[in-house]
A and B are shown apart, each in its own frame.
Chain A
């Protein structure tokens, strides 16, 4: 098995190149740096978490994409990966974890339960984490395969690479947070 991902060529930003130098905009440099060094915080509550463990292990090897360093402290994490059923009672805890993360931060919702409540259409289960925190990428599946998780991470990388350094200070971003009652 070999997956050839030539990040260097594919994502090389526009710029001026000469002998020993390459000049481009700050936005693009920051985007490249952020996208290729995401520190994920795994918030794993059920079977999706098991698929994520496979994704982290040698066979699928998430480390190839610059995410080998899992952060178990929200304060150092860039990417909140919510994997599994979130009960209503756990909702405030998930929200607190999200609030503790420093900007810039992204959220990936893995699997049917985290995204919509899944088969647990019942009084005790949160019907999708986007009811309490904003979500950047949803991965469908029950549970999704590791390939889908990798695809989701690549989608997050694409967002990180292209968002620019001003987005988190924009009124639109603030308005989006206001919708969730976040600051």
Chain B
């Protein structure tokens, strides 16, 4: 499912990729499924059950020090059967200004993921957003409510499973606009 992305020639990025990969393979064995460099960004696809351990290690290890969670979000790949949903974490090593991206895939009937609020408190609202828009359940989250949509909403609107527009609508036909 991963198309060929333009490969970078930046040696520093390649070195960052190699060092993080070696760190993960040594400290969280079995976590890395695959990795590549995506638009100057080292990207690591992790096993779901090892993801939290890997994230915690990347933050706490002296050699890594990814102390800042820049962003995280949910993604829906409806055509990727068996692993339709993904969570993406983007980490930043502030002292060295190094950035990496972590992805983990899960099936649509298993959207429960442990929270990372105890690792980065910034993830509190980001996880609420991922819950709001995609329906991920973050176990251990202190306050898992919708954050942007109205509480009465009964669905998760950014899933790619809804028609763009109600096919029964007639109020926007050309004849009403003189076209």
Contact = CB atoms under 8 A, between A and B. Distances in A.
Interface of A: 87-89, 91, 121, 123-124
A123 B165 CA distance: 10
Contacts of A87: 150
B71 interface: no
Contact of A89 (B150, B157, B165): B150
Contacts of B150: 87-89, 91
14 contacts: A87-B150, A88-B149, A88-B150, A89-B148, A89-B149, A89-B150, A91-B150, A121-B165, A123-B149, A123-B153, A123-B157, A124-B148, A124-B149, A124-B157
Chain B interface size, under 10 / 10 to 19 / 20 to 34 / 35 or more: under 10
Contacts of B157: 123-124
A121 B148 CA distance: 17
Interface in B60-91: none
B34 to A, nearest CB: 35
Contacts, number: 14
Contacts of A123: 149, 153, 157
A91 B148 CA distance: 13
Nearest to A88: B150
Interface in B132-179: 148-150, 153, 157, 165
Nearest to A87: B150
A124 B155 CA distance: 12
A117 B157 CA distance: 18
The 8 closest A-B CB pairs, nearest first, are A89-B150, A123-B157, A88-B150, A124-B149, A89-B149, A124-B157, A89-B148, A124-B148
Contacts of B165: 121
A126 B157 CA distance: 15
Q: Which one of B150, B153, B157, B165 has the highest number of Cβ atoms from chain A below 10 Å of its Cβ? A: B150
A2 B157 CA distance: 52
Nearest to A123: B157
Contacts of A124: 148-149, 157
A118 B28 CA distance: 51
A123 B163 CA distance: 12
A123 B150 CA distance: 10
Nearest to B172: A121
A130 to B, nearest CB: 15
Given A121-B165, A124-B148, 5 more contacts: A87-B150, A88-B150, A89-B148, A123-B157, A124-B157
B154 to A, nearest CB: 11
A155 to B, nearest CB: 25
A121 B165 CA distance: 9
A124 B153 CA distance: 9
A89 B145 CA distance: 14
B38 to A, nearest CB: 30
B129 to A, nearest CB: 13
Contacts of A88: 149-150
